[in-house]
Amino acid sequence: MILVHETTTILAIALYAAAKYPAMSRHVSSPGRLEAFSDGVIAVIITIMVLELKVPHQDGLAGLHAVLPTLCLYLISFAFTAIYWVNHHHLIDRTEEADELILYANLGFLFCLSLLPFFTSYVLEKKMDSFSVAIYIGSMIFTGFSFLLLRLAIARRLRHAGKFEAEDKAIERKNYLSLFVYAVAIPLAFQHPHLALGLVAFITIVWITPTTGIKHRAPEHPRNEPN
């Protein structure tokens, strides 16, 4: 957790420095390579989680009941990762250029996301006790924060290009709100761990599409002036 905290802190400092000293972001490239690399890493993350699923020793319904908590937690972790993949595609598609800041922010996001299989295994090993669930949700906060840094890095380029829209700002606020809900879920985990996981699942559902819960502004049409 300390390593994750240091990584996100460094990324936040880099984002501030790049805003103050634009020379850091002079080199730009196509985001295609960034997206292809990210797709590969996310595919590996999902594969690692699948390998953690074990066949139960019991036969029949008793065996299925024994692994049901494992399957539910795997479903949350899989959905969490898969939905980030969808949102990542939506975010990268917003920009036509990727500078060093975006590349490093993307690496920070992938690093945080790559820790999810470990924390998933940790929760299962500890039988979903309060502390392990709190740590699991904490890892989601770091991943969400690293994705927010990536969003801010791309928003910076969109502003420079004059392409930053009201919808981008609304999704950014949604990102902040999600982090707040995760933060609320951590103390809740010490009293009601399963309820805290339910709250995490709810936030995951909210992000099924990036614009879920965001009102789209209808295009303004010029009024017909009377003759």
The predicted-structure confidence for 25-65, as pLDDT tens digits, reads as follows 456 778 888 999 999 999 999 998 888 777 777 777 777 77
How many angstroms separate the CA atoms of 171 and 166, rounded? Answer: 9
pLDDT value at residue 79: 92
How many Cβ atoms from other residues are within 10 Å of residue 107's Cβ?
18
According to the model, what pLDDT value does residue 176 have? 95
The confidence score (pLDDT) of residue 227 equals 41
pTM over 0.85: no
Q: How far apart are CA 76 and CA 200, in angstroms?
A: 8
Amino acid 9: pLDDT: 52
Q: What is the pLDDT of residue 153?
A: 94
**What is the pLDDT, as a whole number, of residue 224?**
47
Residue 173 is encoded by which pair of tokens?
């606020």
CB 150 within 8 A of CB 103: no
Q: Give the residues of the chain that fall short of pLDDT 70.
A: 1-27, 212-227
Q: What pLDDT score was predicted for residue 225?
A: 43
* d(C-alpha 218, C-alpha 208), whole Å: 22
Q: Tell which phi-psi region holds residue 128, choosing left (phi > 0), alpha (psi between -120 and 50) or beta.
A: left
Within a 10 A sphere around the Cβ of 196, how many other Cβ atoms? 23
Residue type at 14 in one-letter notation: A
At 208, which amino acid appears? I
Considering only CA atoms, which of 212, 198, 213 is closest in space to residue 75? 198
Chain centre distance of CA 125: 24
Residue 174 burial (10 A CB sphere; 0-12, 13-18, 19+) = middle
User: How many C-alpha atoms does 39 have within 13 Å on its Cβ side?
Assistant: 10
Please give the pLDDT value at position 71.
87
